[in-house]
């Protein structure tokens, strides 16, 4: 089932997510729905708060970038992937910048600096513990989604100057002025 995506300004996006205690049919349905929602919106990552949920969970699917990554010499684990109760254990001091977007902040893209490599521990959707060293694009996407679980958005990372330039558009978005090609929940739709 395709779920509506909560847009910038909705309080759930600023609410830290909570560890998932146990597997359940509901949880498996949520993971399936999040993957379907991400694909429908042509996204490569989606975190539970973006669909109005509090579970510490995100999904990614970098298969659209597989060819590009292969050229960089990177092989992808089977996609899509679910990350439950993730914990970043280590990150490189070396950072790089890349333009990011977010399904909760339609039409805005900005350069974000992030560590190039991370080590992350999580449970997969079958609750098997995993630990991975990630670098390049997958490390970036995973850090972006991980931030969502802490109530952090990519626009929090941009320079004060860029933020000032975006302030008006973000304010309008928070008031419900959004044009997205997928179902969304905004301040306006909640009061309608
Ligand atoms: Ni995002």
Residue 26 belongs to a domain = yes
Residues lying with their CB under 5 A of ligand 1, a single-atom ion? 102
pLDDT tens sequence across 108-140: 999 999 999 999 999 999 999 999 999 999 999
Residue 102 belongs to a domain = yes
Q: Using alpha carbons only, give the angle 179, 182, 186 rounded to the nearest 5 degrees.
A: 60
Q: Please identify every residue annotated as catalytic.
A: 145
Which pLDDT value is given to residue 72?
Answer: 80
CA separation, residue 24 to residues 3, 17, 121, 136 (Å): 19, 18, 21, 33
Residue 128 belongs to a domain = yes
Give residue 153 CA to ligand 1 midpoint distance, Å.
Answer: 7
What is the domain range of residue 140?
5-184
Tell me which of 70 and 1 has the higher pLDDT: 1
Domain containing residue 50: CATH number = 3.90.45.10
Alpha carbon 86 to chain centroid distance? 13
Residue holding tokens 């970043």? 88
Query: Domains in the chain: how many in total?
Result: 1
pLDDT band at 88 (very low <50, low <70, confident <90, very high): very high
Give residue 103 CA to ligand 1 midpoint distance, Å.
Answer: 6
pLDDT tens sequence across 27-81: 999 999 999 999 999 999 999 999 999 999 999 999 998 888 888 888 888 999 9
Residue 190 belongs to a domain = no
Give residue 43 CA to ligand 1 midpoint distance, Å.
Answer: 9
> Count of alpha carbons within 13 Å of 104, Cβ hemisphere only?
28
Residue 156 belongs to a domain = yes
Residue 192 belongs to a domain = no
- pTM of the prediction? 0.95
pLDDT band at 189 (very low <50, low <70, confident <90, very high): confident
Q: Which value, in Å, is the radius of gyration of the alpha carbons in the chain?
A: 16
Q: Using alpha carbons only, give the angle 124, 128, 132 rounded to the nearest 5 degrees.
A: 65
């Amino acid at each position: 089932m395709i779920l509506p995506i909560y847009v910038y300004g909705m309080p759930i996006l600023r609410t830290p997510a909570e560890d998932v205690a146990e597997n359940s049919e509901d949880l498996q349905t949520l993971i399936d729905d999040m993957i379907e929602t991400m694909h429908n919106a042509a996204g490569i990552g989606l975190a539970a708060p973006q669909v109005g949920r509090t579970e510490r969970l995100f999904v990614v699917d970098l298969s659209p970038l597989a060819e590009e990554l292969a050229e960089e010499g990177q092989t992808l684990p089977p996609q899509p992937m679910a990350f439950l109760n993730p914990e970043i254990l280590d990150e490189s001091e070396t950072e790089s910048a890349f333009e990011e977007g977010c399904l909760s902040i339609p039409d805005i893209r900005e350069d974000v600096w992030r560590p190039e490599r991370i080590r992350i521990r999580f449970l997969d959707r079958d609750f098997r513990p995993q630990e991975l060293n990630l670098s390049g694009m997958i490390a970036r996407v995973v850090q972006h989604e991980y931030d969502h679980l802490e109530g952090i958005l990519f626009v929090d990372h941009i320079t004060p100057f860029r933020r000032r330039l975006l302030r008006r558009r973000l304010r309008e978005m928070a008031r419900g002025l959004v044009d997205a090609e997928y179902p969304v929940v905004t301040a306006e739709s909640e009061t309608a």
